[in-house]
Amino acid sequence: MDYEVVIGLEVHVQLKTRTKIFCSSPAAFGADPNTYIDPLTLGLPGALPVFNRQVAEFAIMMGLATNCEIREFNRFARKHYFYPDLPKGYQISQYEEPICERGHIEVLCDNSTRSIGITRIHMEEDAGKSMHDPTAHCSLVDLNRAGVPLLEIVSEPDIRSPSQAAAYLRTIRQIVRWLDISDGNMEEGSLRCDANISLRPLGQMEFGTRTEIKNLNSFKFVEKALEYEVARQLAILKSGGEVVQETLLFDSDAGVTKPMRGKEESADYRYFPDPDLPPLVIKESWIEEIRRNMPVLPQKRYRELIEGYGLSEYDAGVLTADREIVEYFDRVFKTCENAKAAANWITSELFGRLNKASLEISDSP
């Protein structure tokens, strides 16, 4: 029997705001542990959240870039779970009424384009970070990250291979960097994802039992973890066994997934509307103002370079990998008025010199 792979990704994007989502502490990376904290971050009694308006602006930008419907009336909810790096005992998130829903993006993979649906984009706060020291036989908690604003981008289960999953994640990263709402740095944790995966007999509409792989923080690990999990589930099903619904971690050194805990459902989190935050009402005039000020998106620039400038798909892909690159191309083209020559010089001569000097395109005059 042949099986079809079904994958959905939940991508968490840390936003480039100056302060956290519900308090005035800095939302920055790299400080000494527990320096960017305050009564709300610590979950102290009486501390009340105050919403950071820029988070909603960035969420609307991402919703527009992914063809989502922007919900006029949305609200925050409390997501309850007990973990050391969550002092309040709950995370402020969105559940039934997210800010963006029902969107899609076009993803280029294996020389073909596939439309991947976006179920929802919602705003939430990040948790702190637990650090485990086996030599000292203790665990430490750094709450600098607690309260940093996140967008969670939940895809439809439209992804059909590990390579498509990695391509989808690259596209999300390209968009958030293009909009300048996140640096998309996966090493620092500002872009990470959870992957839900199941297998079903080819032609069957009903989904199989899914597992969730948590906290994947590189394109390579996303692809490798999913490849292993496809093989593992396939072996179980072909031997007559049943896949257990559970949450997994990916051991990158061993190249295997390992059980973390039983897979939770939404009921386990006991969601209810946050009584300390009023509903958020998004006016159409604000959406249109944001739309007018948004840059031309990478997918449109990609087509322009091919159809309007006569560049190859490869050159267009390289130039639109980052907004600073294509803007640099525009400046070079104005000087030489030869698109192919400008593209060749940037992708070979300039990139070669920048790499040799360990510099970025932004460092080039």
Which residues make beta-bridge pairs with 7? 159, 197
Which residues make beta-bridge pairs with 178? none
Long-range contacts, 107-111 (Cβ 8 Å, 24+): 107/164, 107/167, 107/168, 107/171, 108/167, 108/171, 108/317, 109/161, 109/163, 109/164, 109/167, 109/168, 110/163
**Angle between helical axes of 53-65 and 284-293 (0-180°, round to 10):** 70
b or e along 110-124 (b: 16 or more beta carbons within 10 Å of the residue's beta carbon)?
eeeebebbbbbbbbb
- Mean pLDDT in consecutive groups of 10 residues from the start of the chain, 365 residues: 95 98 94 95 95 98 98 95 90 96 94 94 95 82 96 98 97 97 92 97 94 94 97 96 94 92 71 95 98 96 95 94 94 92 93 88 80
User: Quick one: tokens of 288?
Assistant: 């249109």
Return d(Cα 138, Cα 91) in angstroms, integer: 24
User: What's the half-sphere exposure (Cβ side, CA atoms, 13 Å) at 7?
Assistant: 27
According to the model, what pLDDT value does residue 364 have?
79
Alpha-carbon dihedral sign for residues 111, 112, 117, 118 = positive
Return d(Cα 325, Cα 316) in angstroms, integer: 11
The residues, ordered by sequence, that sit 6+ positions from 146 with a Cβ below 8 Å of its Cβ are 37, 41, 85, 86, 87, 125, 126, 127, 128
Q: Where are the alpha helices (DSSP H) in 269-356?
A: 284-293, 298-307, 313-319, 323-336, 339-344, 351-356
The residues, ordered by sequence, that sit 6+ positions from 260 with a Cβ below 8 Å of its Cβ are 214, 246, 247, 248, 249
| Structure-token match 């971690």, residue found | 249
According to the model, what pLDDT value does residue 264 have?
62
Rg of the chain over all Cα atoms, to the nearest angstrom:
22
> What does each C-alpha distance from 197 to 223, 259, 348 come to in angstroms?
12, 14, 39
Backbone φ/ψ region at 22: left (φ over 0), alpha (ψ -120 to 50), beta: alpha
The residues, ordered by sequence, that sit 6+ positions from 344 with a Cβ below 8 Å of its Cβ are 315
User: Which pTM was predicted?
Assistant: 0.93
According to the model, what pLDDT value does residue 86 have?
92
According to the model, what pLDDT value does residue 165 have?
98
**In the chain, what are the domain boundaries?**
3-285, 296-363
User: Quick one: tokens of 185?
Assistant: 């740095």
Alpha-carbon dihedral sign for residues 156, 160, 162, 168 = negative
Decide: helix, strand or coil at residue 325.
helix
Task: Report the run of H or E that residue 258 belongs to, with start and end.
Answer: strand 256-262
According to the model, what pLDDT value does residue 101 have?
98
| Structure-token match 């070979």, residue found | 348
